[in-house]
Structure 1
Amino acid sequence: MRRSVVQAVSVRLAASLLALVAAPAFAGDAANFAALGFSADGRYFGYEEFGVQDGSGFPYSNIFILDVAQDKWAGGSPFRLTLEDESSTLGAVRTEAMAKAAKAFSDLAISEPAVIEALNGDGEVGHDGAGITFGARGFGMDPPPNPVTLKIESFESTSTVPCVESYGFSPPVGFALTLEADGKSTELHRDQSVPASRNCTVAYRPYGIVAPVNWSWNARTPVAIISVFSQGFEGPDRRFIAIPVPGVK
């Protein structure tokens, strides 16, 4: 069965508010990320977030297709699926979700691999969560010749989700993403408000950079993957959003 992530989380938040306030911090529902590929021209990028909901124990898979040139969803995505059965597996929900998205992937010719150019991995120690530095690959074992840095700024914002009024949480957090290259700073994104799909946000972190193979040689645009943390049943829940990073060579 499929249900709205916003509706599902809102119901859980309302039902568990007192428990959240009184309970110690637990691990939340931290979605996993999978890069599913690019179209041959680099125009479209598909990715998946998947995991098991905290509280319910239901497995879910959400598949997105980003129009890299227009910075908007494409192909009828997102394709969201939750199997409301604790005995269901991640393998089952991922297979069913991919079947729902298969026609869109075929129509948009998303069949080329995506490579990870930088990653703030979950087990990595030492990164501050505020930025990520990357560049086009050097020759052999040489480092990237012209690295650039993405920085995240977080700030209090607004949302149509009643985070303060109904749930008693702090106001939702928005973010801005800035590219630092060649001594200049270029703002790539700034929230005017927080979309309801993110729920009651508390933090953002750069997760990784993905790109088509040989993207710098072929003038393709890499994509930044941003971790979005929001209030959850047993601690902060993590989901992902994708932001194109144009102008990097």
Structure 2
Amino acid sequence: MRLSVVQAASVRLVASLLALAAAPAFAGDAADFAALGFSADGRYLAYEEFGVQDGSGFPYSNIFILDVAEDKWAGGSPFRVMLEEEQPGLAGVRAKSAAAAAAALAKLEITEPAVFAALHADAEPVEDRKVIRFGTPGFGLSEPDDTATLSLTTFPSTSTVRCVEDFGFEPPVGFALTFEPSDRMATQMYRDESVPASRNCTIDYQLSAVVAPVNWAWRNLTPVAIVSVFSRGFEGPDRRFIAVPIVNRP
């Protein structure tokens, strides 16, 4: 099933605007991120991570659809595509993953653009990438209202991947998210019980962005935190992305 002209244009425009700028200055496989959009009711978020695999040089693209209300994958996602050749490159592999996900995106009516409520771009100097602040958008030149702070902490955890026993690495690292509105006590909104095998042998996490549907604050819709996951890779740290609904928004 093909995306409509409006959908396709929206997907590519948002992907271009939301791609997290230049790759960080370390060896390894640092995926880039693009928010592909929300369903009209804000229930579903689609996003993509894409890049070039370290070692092989093969381009890949993974599309995820998050059920924001249930905090689980939806629509048969993730849709993972890797081309076992260097050409036609990122454009080619992204086209293939978009085609693979098109039916699910259409069925779940993911047609609305995603916007940034906050962003730590790769090329942006940021004092602490484990803290991000956002609020209700102001009118015109006004500053945001009802600001809140989202902070990330890490800790040694466990995993079904035998990072210590089989590879001699340190124990995998888990993370927790704490949400602190300006007018209320801080609450822990998420904490890993263990590290899923899909994250491999994790070494760190960062807060990359908060994405939301258009006019999310006025429509009482849920924004979503985008967390960078760093794991041990062939040539250095690999980066992927996970999405966590912010259930206690400002």
Structure 2 length normalisation: TM-score? 0.88
Matched to 1:204, the amino acid is: Y
- Show CA shifts across 1:26-50 (max 9, x none): 5111100000000000000000000
Report SS of the residue matched to 2:171.
Answer: coil
The answer to whether the 8 A contact 1:58-1:88 is kept is no
- Residue 121 of structure 1 is matched in structure 2 by 121
Matched to 1:194, the amino acid is: V
Matched to 1:236, the amino acid is: P
The answer to whether the 8 A contact 1:55-1:233 is kept is yes
Structure 1 length normalisation: TM-score? 0.88
Distance 1:49 1:26 in 2: 18
Report SS of the residue matched to 2:220.
Answer: coil
Distance 2:87 2:209 in 1: 32
- Residue 248 of structure 2 is matched in structure 1 by 247
Q: CA deviation at 1:165?
A: 1.0
Q: CA RMSD in A?
A: 1.1
Answering whether residue 20 of structure 2 is matched by residue 41 of structure 1, we say no
- Show CA shifts across 1:179-238 (max 9, x none): 011231121111111000000000000000000000000010000000000001111000
Matched to 1:221, the amino acid is: T
- Residue 157 of structure 2 is matched in structure 1 by 157
Answering whether residue 110 of structure 2 is matched by residue 96 of structure 1, we say no
Give ranges in structure 1 of 5+ residues lacking alignment.
1-24
Answering whether residue 92 of structure 2 is matched by residue 54 of structure 1, we say no
Pairing 1:1-249 to 2, within 5 Å after superposition: 26-181=26-181, 182-249=183-250
The answer to whether the 8 A contact 1:26-1:234 is kept is no
Q: Which stretch shows the higher mean deviation, 125-134 or 71-80?
A: 125-134
Matched to 2:54, the amino acid is: D
Matched to 1:104, the amino acid is: A
Q: Which stretch shows the higher mean deviation, 204-213 or 25-34?
A: 25-34
The answer to whether the 8 A contact 2:83-2:93 is kept is yes
Q: Which stretch shows the higher mean deviation, 84-93 or 39-48?
A: 84-93
Report SS of the residue matched to 1:70.
Answer: coil
Report SS of the residue matched to 1:103.
Answer: helix
Q: CA deviation at 1:142?
A: 0.9
Matched to 1:59, the amino acid is: P
Q: CA deviation at 1:166?
A: 1.1
- Show CA shifts across 1:43-95 (max 9, x none): 00000000000111000000000000001100000111111112331000000
- Closer, same or farther: CA 247–161 of 1 in aligned 2, 3 Å: same
The answer to whether the 8 A contact 2:48-2:61 is kept is yes
The answer to whether the 8 A contact 2:228-2:242 is kept is yes
Distance 2:33 2:147 in 1: 24
The answer to whether the 8 A contact 2:179-2:248 is kept is no
Structure 1 runs (4+) deviating above 6 angstroms are none
Matched to 1:246, the amino acid is: V
Matched to 1:92, the amino acid is: G
Report SS of the residue matched to 1:166.
Answer: helix
Distance 2:95 2:104 in 1: 15
The answer to whether the 8 A contact 1:44-1:108 is kept is yes
- Closer, same or farther: CA 91–71 of 1 in aligned 2, 3 Å: same
Matched to 1:52, the amino acid is: V
The answer to whether the 8 A contact 2:39-2:108 is kept is yes
